[in-house]
């Protein structure tokens, strides 16, 4: 059986995409996206949360409220607040759909694009207002859990076999 170059490239692309695994969190505090004095919320793998101003930062530990917290699997650090962009984007997406479907009756003389843009602007503003009023948290650090469950597809393609192995890890 002879393979063409297009078939080989297609199989190679599928092999790369199907065997890719997600990147897990950081392994130390070197690239922590916070500075001393920022208010942070640290959640341990056990579920307990410590909040307060961030003190000293080293690769293996941080200080929050005068308590030293060492790196451990499953540790999660968040800071208060989130960006307005996600509210604007969600609102604008709703506005495009609403403007081009429901709102299309309001602009019968204009093109549908004008209705979609008008809906995106109005609903994007509403999304920004809602996001500004909601005080959420942004995750800035997440340590990988040991034994984290995962699912992975591994292609096994050869001249005489074509199969995909499903690998479960837990």
What's the pLDDT tens digit per position in 13-28?
Answer: 555 555 444 434 567 7
Cα dihedral sign, 23-25-29-34: positive
For the stretch 32-64, pLDDT in tens is 888 888 889 999 888 888 999 999 888 888 999
At 26 the pLDDT is: 60
Provide the whole-model pTM. Answer: 0.51
* pLDDT greater than 70 at residue 4: no
Of residues 21, 1, 47, 4, the one with CA closest to residue 167: 21
- The backbone region for 148, taken as left when phi is positive above 0, alpha when psi lies in -120 to 50, beta otherwise, is beta
* Closest among 158, 95, 105 to 126, alpha carbons compared: 95
Looking at residue 125, its pLDDT comes to 93
* Pair 145, 74: CB distance under 8 Å: yes
Reading the block at residue 73, the tokens are: 């699997």
52-105 pLDDT per residue, tens: 999 988 888 899 988 999 988 888 999 887 778 888 999 999 999 988 888 777
Residues 6+ apart with CB under 8 A from 154: 18, 19, 164, 165, 166, 167
């Amino acid at each position: 059986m002879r393979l063409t170059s297009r078939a080989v490239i297609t199989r190679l692309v599928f092999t790369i995409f199907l065997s890719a695994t997600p990147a897990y969190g950081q392994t130390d505090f070197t690239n922590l996206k916070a500075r001393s004095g920022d208010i942070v919320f640290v959640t341990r793998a056990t579920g307990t949360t410590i909040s307060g101003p961030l003190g000293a930062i080293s690769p293996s530990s941080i200080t929050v409220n005068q308590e030293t917290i060492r790196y451990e699997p499953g540790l999660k650090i968040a800071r208060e607040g989130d960006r307005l962009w996600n509210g604007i984007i969600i609102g604008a997406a709703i506005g495009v759909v609403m403007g081009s479907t429901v709102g299309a009756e309001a602009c019968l003389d204009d093109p549908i694009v004008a209705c979609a843009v008008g809906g995106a602007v109005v609903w994007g503003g509403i999304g920004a207002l809602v996001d500004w009023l909601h005080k959420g948290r942004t995750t800035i650090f997440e340590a990988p859990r040991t034994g984290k469950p995962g699912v992975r597809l591994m292609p096994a393609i050869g001249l005489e076999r074509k199969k995909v192995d499903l690998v479960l890890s837990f």
